[in-house]
Structure 1
């Protein structure tokens, strides 16, 4: 009878262990869900605080962003270092569809002195999204030009990020081009 009672106690202990483990799983699952909700709440607060920090600053409009993109594209066709200096942020990161990444100085030098010469440039299917003092522009970058004297047609995807400074001017902060499917 003692052996039977010990076996019964073991089974009872195993059932209690299983219940405890199941309870912990439920507790961890509930915490996981709450943490996810907390992250979503914090994200919203982050967006709100970004808007608040821009208070008093004149935020960009769609029209201003379109004008900045047009001005930038015109200077790409007839580049001068002085004009590019005014249109680009000091922190510029300029990504090409080839994977090459340039800072402001390298980009301007390459544009002004490099082998590629833009003859025309168009930004097709353009969309603009504004968040605080930053604008995200997407378009199809269509260009005709020459590369080391040889004619070239360019059709790539393009994303640009413009940021409005405290001086009220929009400047290109980042650009990334990417190859489009054929």
Structure 2
């Protein structure tokens, strides 16, 4: 538990440092991304429900597409299990009206269905500005090509 708190604290500190030159909307989107990452490590059904739009389309690098309910179930059941550390690299955010596109590289260790693995992915997140804040509308992952 302490390890998870330290990781979360370091994510917040890195986000705060990188947010110095960003617009208010970009800062809000960064906070939403950090919430999503924290919930992927330590899932909470109520918090996930609040962060995800009902018509979420969640695409995996395998080509599998999940609805909000399917994505939540995979995290909450442990079917999709991210271990203590998810590293994001090369973040790029584009805000257009009430839509935000976030691209980053995601590196993590997993324990999906009891099988340990490593993921190295490029991610595209699509966020929608709603009355209650930024909500995840879409996600697509592709594998980083091996060199």
TM-score class normalised by the smaller sequence? 0.7 to 0.9
- Runs of 5+ unmatched residues, structure 2: 1-22
For residues 112 and 56 of structure 2, what CA distance do their matches in structure 1 show? 24
Answering whether residue 145 of structure 2 is matched by residue 149 of structure 1, we say no
> Which structure has greater strand proportion?
2
Q: Using the TM superposition, give the Cα deviation of residue 148 of structure 1 relative to its aligned residue in structure 2, in angstroms.
A: 2.4
Answering whether residue 55 of structure 2 is matched by residue 87 of structure 1, we say no
Maintained 8 Å contact 1:60/1:130: no
Rg bigger for which structure? 1
Aligned to 2:26: 62
For residues 101 and 146 of structure 1, what CA distance do their matches in structure 2 show? 20
Give the structure-2-normalised TM-score: 0.79
**Which of 37, 40, 49 is residue 76 of structure 1 equivalent to?**
40
> Which structure has greater helix proportion?
1
SS at match of 1:181: coil
Aligned residues: 123
For residues 77 and 24 of structure 2, what CA distance do their matches in structure 1 show? 32
**Which of 115, 118, 123 is residue 88 of structure 2 equivalent to?**
123
**Which of 99, 103, 109 is residue 138 of structure 1 equivalent to?**
103
Q: Using the TM superposition, give the Cα deviation of residue 90 of structure 1 relative to its aligned residue in structure 2, in angstroms.
A: 1.0
Aligned to 1:106: 70
Q: Using the TM superposition, give the Cα deviation of residue 75 of structure 1 relative to its aligned residue in structure 2, in angstroms.
A: 0.6
